[in-house]
């Protein structure tokens, strides 16, 4: 046995296996970073779909993922949330857990979800509609916006930055396309003519430019810090506008610009696309709840309880703690793509091809990214919420996975964000028919915003 800081006394073989595991993980992080640099700003954001029109199973799956999204109320990864809905003998059980959440914060979030679901009980299932002009839609949107104030504020700020950049680019391109320039004409008349062309180009307008400027005006609206009603009202206008824009033909132009622009240009359009999608997703979340009330079993709203599971405890940087018995030179030698691939693949027929591919990525700083990840003090791995929830269900049902009574037999652990690559691997290796949320496209090793 050997003592490992932050872990305790473990077998030497287990320590070595953990070293191999985390070396593979830092290789994956390095590959993600290198590939991101090679993607030249191309968008990688999965499309946000509307409420599905298919079976009750599809609607329930959408409902599960969207209720998890409501629980995820702060930016970045700490409140990413998973949800499973279990059918108990006398009621429905919502089981939530988040990546990193205190008990007090989790209880507050659970209370908010309880209130939202309870509000739907007073609505007649037949009469409730998901029209975004209806009172019930606006009430749910207001409540969720106030609960998500930190997150929406960040989205609004980031969207404003990207809108400013994209609008500036569009106006510059319009002027470049004009027939006249200051180089072609001179004197006072030339300056006046150039200014006139500028005014004509802007006044003639472009439907996309007009729409972006409208969104820009919404994101610039100043709301007092304590003005909850003002914040909710402005947020409501912004989300409805973002959703309308996302469904318009003009949005296809944003996608096209993101796909075809040079790196410094396409990145801003990619980010614009991303934040429009994030804001529009609130519209989908509310429609999911309302559609669930209208089309799913009433027990989801009328006879339920909420259970919250504690988050995992972060582990100190494992590449330091597990390799603390090694000298610095040995650590540096091990922390290279070639060395990690050799150990992972052994005599595999694909090893040489993989090594050659890794060599190609060295121009993007692959080994430097691996070393940086190993040395980061903030590298503190956690167990993601999907896996925590799957483990809980295993333990609760004594590993008899096939007798977990999922509601309506929909064996899904939903999540507020698409499943990362590692969680997808875990679900695939788990030898069960329980599904996780759809994976990201392309697959990533981590989740963000």
| Cis amide leading into 442 (omega within 30) | yes
What does the pLDDT read at residue 72?
96
pLDDT at 125: 64
Which residues are 307's β-sheet partners?
A: 95
Nearest CA among 448, 91, 83, 98 for reference residue 289: 83
- Closest alpha carbon to 28 in 421, 430, 425, 319: 421
pLDDT of residue 228: 84
* pLDDT tens for each residue of 303-331: 999 999 999 999 888 888 888 777 778 88
Alpha carbon distances (Å) from 206 to 35, 180, 202, 210 = 35, 20, 8, 6
Given a contact cutoff of 8 angstroms between Cβ atoms, the answer to whether 167 and 160 are in contact is no
Over the chain, what is the mean pLDDT?
Answer: 84
Burial of 49 (C-beta count, 10 Å sphere; 0-12/13-18/19+): exposed
pLDDT in tens, 62-85: 999 999 999 999 998 999 999 999
**pLDDT class of 204 with cuts at 50, 70, 90:** low
- Residue 144 reports pLDDT greater than 70: yes
Q: What is the pLDDT of residue 248?
A: 93
Is residue 182 very low, low, confident or very high in pLDDT (cuts 50, 70, 90)?
Answer: very low
Looking at the chain, how many residues does it have?
Answer: 449
Confidence of residue 443 (pLDDT cuts 50, 70, 90): very low
Q: Read off the pLDDT of residues 383-426 as tens digits, 9 standing for 90 and up.
A: 999 999 999 998 888 666 567 899 999 999 999 999 888 888 88
pLDDT at 261: 65
Share of the chain above pLDDT 90, in %: 44
The pTM (predicted TM-score) of the whole model is 0.84
**Per-residue model confidence (pLDDT) at position 434:** 84
pLDDT at 198: 53
Residue 180's pLDDT band, with cuts at 50, 70 and 90, is very low
């Amino acid at each position: 046995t050997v003592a490992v800081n932050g872990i305790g006394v473990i077998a030497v073989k287990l320590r070595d296996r953990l070293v191999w595991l985390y070396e593979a993980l830092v290789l994956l992080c390095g590959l993600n970073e290198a590939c991101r640099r090679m993607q030249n700003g191309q968008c990688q954001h999965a499309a946000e779909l509307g409420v599905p029109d298919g079976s009750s199973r599809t609607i329930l799956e959408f409902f599960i993922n969207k209720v998890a999204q409501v629980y995820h109320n702060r930016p970045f990864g700490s409140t990413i949330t998973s949800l499973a809905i279990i059918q108990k003998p006398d009621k429905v059980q919502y089981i939530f857990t988040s990546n990193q959440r205190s008990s007090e914060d989790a209880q507050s979030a659970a209370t908010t979800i309880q209130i939202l679901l309870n509000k739907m009980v007073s609505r007649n299932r037949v009469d409730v509609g998901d029209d975004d002009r209806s009172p019930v839609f606006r009430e749910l949107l207001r409540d969720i916006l106030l609960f998500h104030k930190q997150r929406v504020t960040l989205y609004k700020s980031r969207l404003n930055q990207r809108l400013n950049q994209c609008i500036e680019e569009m106006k510059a391109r319009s002027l470049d396309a004009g027939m006249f320039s200051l180089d072609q004409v001179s004197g006072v008349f030339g300056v006046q003519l150039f200014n006139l062309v500028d005014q004509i180009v802007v006044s003639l307008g472009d439907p996309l430019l007009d729409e972006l400027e409208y969104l820009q005006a919404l994101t610039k609206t100043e709301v007092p810090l304590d003005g909850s009603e003002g914040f909710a009202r402005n947020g409501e206008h912004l989300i409805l506008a973002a959703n309308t824009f996302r469904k318009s033909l003009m949005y296809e132009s944003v996608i096209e610009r993101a796909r075809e622009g040079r790196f410094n240009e396409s990145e801003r359009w990619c980010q614009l696309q991303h934040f429009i999608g994030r804001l529009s997703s609130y519209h989908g979340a509310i429609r999911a709840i309302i559609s669930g009330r209208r089309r799913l079993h009433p027990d989801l709203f009328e006879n339920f309880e909420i259970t919250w599971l504690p988050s995992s405890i972060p582990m100190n940087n494992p590449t330091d703690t597990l390799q603390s018995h090694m000298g610095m030179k040995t650590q540096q030698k091990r922390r290279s793509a070639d060395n990690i691939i050799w150990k992972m693949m052994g005599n595999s027929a694909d090893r040489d091809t993989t090594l050659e591919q890794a060599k190609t990525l060295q121009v993007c700083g692959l080994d430097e990214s691996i070393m940086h990840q190993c040395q980061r003090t903030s590298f503190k791995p956690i167990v993601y919420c999907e896996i925590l929830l799957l483990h809980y269900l295993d333990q609760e049902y004594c590993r008899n996975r096939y007798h977990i009574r999922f509601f309506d037999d929909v064996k899904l652990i939903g999540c507020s964000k698409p499943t990362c690559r590692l969680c997808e691997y875990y679900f695939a290796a788990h030898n069960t028919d329980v599904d996780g949320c759809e994976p990201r496209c392309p697959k990533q090793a981590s989740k963000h915003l």
